[in-house]
Amino acid sequence: MADPVADEPGVEAPARLDDPEVRALLGALNDQLDQLEAMPGPVSELGLTVVAGVAEIYGQALIRTLELADPAAVERMLDDELIAHLLALHGIHPESVEKRLTRVIDELRAAVSDQGGTVELDRLDETVAVVRVALGARASRSADVEHTVRRAVMTAVPELADVTIVPAGSASATAFVPLEALMRTATSARLP
C-alpha cells in the first residue's frame, strides 16, 4: 500500500525511530508531563486535559487496530516495544502485568549477568514492583543500573505506579514471594 504522505510532492514521511530513540522520547515526555502536572493554574490543567483527550483518541484507534488485526499481526505488535507500551498504557495489552514483568526481569537479568550482577523480582505490591539488584565487580555505577532497571520495567509495564529497587541480600519488608505464586494468585483471583 502506498504511503499518501510520501507520495505528496515536497512532503517526507516521518522517519521511523528505533527503540533507544523511542525510549529517550518516552522518558522526555514523562519528564515534561511531570513538570506540567507540578505547575499550578488553569493553563496546566488545560494542557493535561488536552493530553488526556489525545491519549483517549489514540487508545480508541489502538482498540480498533487490535480488533481488525489477525492473531499473527497482534503477536508482531506485541514484539514491538513502542506498540506494546502504548497498549499497556491504554489498558488494552492482551498479556498480563505478571507476564510482561517476568519477561523484562528475564531480559534485565541476562544483561546484568554479563557484568556479574543479578536482577530478581522480589514482589509485586499491587502497582509497585520491588526488584532486587546486586552488582558484579564489572558493573556500572549503582545509580546507573538502578535507573536502567526502573526505566526498563516502567516501559514494559507502564501501569505500575513505581519500581522500588532494593539491594540483593537486604531484608525485605515482607517475605519473598516467588513470581510463580503471584501468577497463581492472579489467575485464581480471575476465576469465578
Q: Would you state the pLDDT for residue 130? A: 93
In order of 27, 38, 60, 96, 149, the CA distances from 65 in angstroms are: 25, 34, 9, 19, 30
CA distance linking residue 153 with residue 13, whole number of Å: 31
- Which contiguous run of DSSP H or E holds residue 164? strand 162-167
Please report, rounded to a whole number, the percentage of residues in the chain having pLDDT higher than 90. Answer: 29
For residue 110, what is its C-alpha cell? 541476562
pLDDT above 90 for 50: yes
Q: Tens of pLDDT along 58-98?
A: 999 999 999 999 999 999 998 888 898 889 888 899 888 99
Q: Would you state the pLDDT for residue 112? A: 81
Q: Would you state the pLDDT for residue 191? A: 35
Q: Would you state the pLDDT for residue 49? A: 93
Query: Mean pLDDT in the chain?
Result: 80
Q: What is the CATH number of domain 97-190?
A: 3.30.300.130
pLDDT above 60 for 100: yes
CA distance linking residue 83 with residue 75, whole number of Å: 11
In order of 18, 126, 183, the CA distances from 179 in angstroms are: 31, 13, 6
Domain boundaries, the chain: 19-89, 97-190
Asked whether 184 and 107 are in contact (CB, 8 A), the reply is no
Q: Tens of pLDDT along 145-182?
A: 888 889 889 888 888 999 999 887 654 444 343 444 34
CA distance linking residue 67 with residue 137, whole number of Å: 49
As a whole number, mean pLDDT of residues 128-149 equals 79
Q: At what angle do helices 42-68 and 19-38 cross, to 10 degrees?
A: 140
What is the model's pTM? 0.61
Q: At what angle do helices 81-89 and 71-79 cross, to 10 degrees?
A: 100
